[in-house]
Structure 1
Amino acid sequence: MSQAYFIAGTDTDVGKTTIAAGLLRAARLQNLSTLAAKPVASGCEPTPKGLRNSDALALIDESSIKLAYEQVNPFTFEPAIAPHVAAREAGVALEVNVLLGLMRQVLEQRADFTLIEGAGGWRVPLSGHAYLSDLAIALKLPVILVVGVRLGCINHALLSAEAIARDGLPLAGWVANIVDPRTSRLEENLASLAERLPAPCLGRVPWLKQASAEAVAEYLHLDVLD
């Protein structure tokens, strides 16, 4: 039976891709086929083959089902700025219906474990009054929330969980990714998150000097997912 999830973060730079790659590696270690996509990415590098995003490439590395880069990351923008601003500057319209069709093609591959990774936090604008969260809603995917553990993370996590619930999607689980190892009262903060977030914790990932997918996977537990 195939499982598919939307990966969201409590903010930008909380390690969504690091955790997503770790989840994919954990699934592969269970002999599951894997596939991931990142529909929109800014902060891309020019290459002879076109713009490439390091996060999307990391997801491809951990996907056992191989698709063309353009299928995994169809919308790429060079400046490392908000996607809707980058798209506007590039003269590109980010339409939910277009993204929906492209991501359905990914889901139609029927990998055992599929991840669709967002950009930034939950309510990232696309164009007009549309948001990237509208894509998750249209796909009807349960959400895995990556909590970047640092000062202020409890508020960000709870507000994100509330928004996900209000949008009608289940929170399948969350991951504590310790992005600031010097966070004061770390254990108390983690306990507060566990008490208040309405979903199981898939793992607590410490700050790692080399946060490879293999290293991260050791701290993640897929068995708590429905």
Structure 2
Amino acid sequence: MTPNAFFVTGTDTDAGKTLIASSLLHLARRRGLTTAAGKPVASGSVLTPDGLRNDDALALQAQCAPALSYDTVNPLAFEPAIAPHIAALEAGTELSLAGLLAPMQTLLKQQADLTLIEGAGGWRVPINETASLSDLAVALDLPVILVVGVRLGAINHARLTLEAIERDGLRVAGWVANVVDDRTSRLTANLATLDHWLSQRAGIPCLGSVSHLADPTPERVGHCLDLDPLLEPHER
């Protein structure tokens, strides 16, 4: 297991994985720590003169210090904003666990002070007919950061995701409540319930609660997060 390296997953698509990951990396950079990030596969990319580029991967790349090439961060990008395995098949290829594992292992060998590898969608997003992105996290043997997209249904999604991660034999190192719908009824009660089931009962540190922001940036969101539970004692 690589020190201070984590797999970032969410309760669903658009839970805010990239925003939280970028913000945690930004906090590490402010402390003078080296950072690295990976987005092994991304759909919903735009064709540029340099090739396909994905906004989430670009956001992660911007927080890497020392700088990493785009292909190092995101080795596989597809244009349509659909499930990655379907996007790959439409592009005439097939995703494989080995194909995603090798570049992420190379990334981890850089031994950055903080490395975050972000999945796509939720925990059980498939990469082909037999494997899921969760299998990548297991193969990398990384503890997990769970980003809970707080909206109606988040409590159930969070608990199910936690159960699946633990059933796969991995540890959840921390969780973040990211309010994606500020119109969520009984928001305060929902946040308290998430804290009860994830922190009080499961013993998982809460890395922060992020209110819905009209213009979220890693700088602004970073003020809502606590990096310390993720770092080795000598780096705090």
Range of TM-score over shorter length: over 0.9
Deviations 1:40-64 (A, max 9, x none): 0000000001000000000011111
Deviation at 1:27, TM superposition (A): 1.1
Aligned equivalents of 2:93, 2:110: Cα separation in 1: 27
Supply the RMSD in Å over aligned alpha carbons: 1.1
Partner secondary structure for residue 120 of structure 1: strand
Residue number among 175, 194, 216 corresponding to 1:211 in the alignment: 216
Alignment-derived partner of residue 173 in structure 1: 174
Q: SS at the partner of 1:175?
A: strand
Q: Is the 8 A contact 2:159 2:197 kept in 1?
A: yes
Q: Secondary structure at the match of 2:177?
A: strand
Q: Tell me the percent identity.
A: 60
CA contact (8 A) 2:53 2:77 kept: yes
Moved more, 61-70 or 164-173: 61-70
Which residue is equivalent to 1:185? 186
Which string of whole-angstrom CA distances, capped at 9 and with x for unpartnered residues, describes residues 61-88 of structure 1?
1111222211110110000000010011
SS in 1 for 2:121: coil
Does residue 223 of the first structure (1) align with residue 223 of the second (2)? Answer: no
| Structure 2 counterpart of 1:65 | 66
| 2:209 match: secondary structure | strand
- What amino acid is the match of 1:71? T
- Structure 2: how far apart are the matches of 1:68 and 1:34? 13
Q: Which amino acid aligns with 1:110?
A: Q
Q: In 1, are the aligned partners of 2:4 and 2:230 still within 8 Å (CA)?
A: no
- For residues 175 and 49 of structure 1, the distance between their equivalents in structure 2, rounded to whole angstroms, comes to 34
Q: Give distance in 2, aligned partners of 1:136 and 1:144.
A: 11
Within 1, Cα distance between the matches of 2:86 and 2:140?
24
Deviation of the 1:2 alpha carbon: 4.0
SS at 2:145 equivalent: strand
> What is the match of residue 108 of structure 1?
109
* Alpha-carbon distance between aligned partners in 1 of 2:79 and 2:100, rounded to the nearest angstrom: 19
Scaled by the length of structure 1, the TM-score of the pair is 0.98
- Checking the alignment, whether the CA contact within 8 Å between 1:96 and 1:130 is kept in structure 2 is yes
> Do 2:155 and 2:190's aligned partners in 1 also have CA atoms closer than 8 Å?
yes
Superposition TM-score, scaled by structure 2 size: 0.94
> Is the contact between residue 154 and residue 193 of structure 1 (CA under 8 Å) also seen in structure 2?
yes
Q: Does the 8 Å CA contact 1:95/1:126 hold for their aligned counterparts?
A: yes
Matches within 5 A, 1:152-171: 152-171=153-172
Deviation, 1:224, is 2.3
The equivalent of 2:234 in structure 1 is none
Distance (Å, rounded) in 1 between the aligned partners of 2:154 and 2:12: 9
* 1:145-156 superposed matches below 5 A: 145-156=146-157
State whether structure 2 residue 38 is matched by structure 1 residue 20: no
Paired amino acid for 2:229: V
- Residue type of the alignment partner of 1:4: A
Gaps of 5+ in 2: 232-236
Write out per-residue CA displacement over residues 106-143 of structure 1, whole angstroms, 9 at most, x where no aligned residue. 00011000000000000000012110110000000000
Question: Alpha-carbon deviation of 1:225?
Answer: 2.8
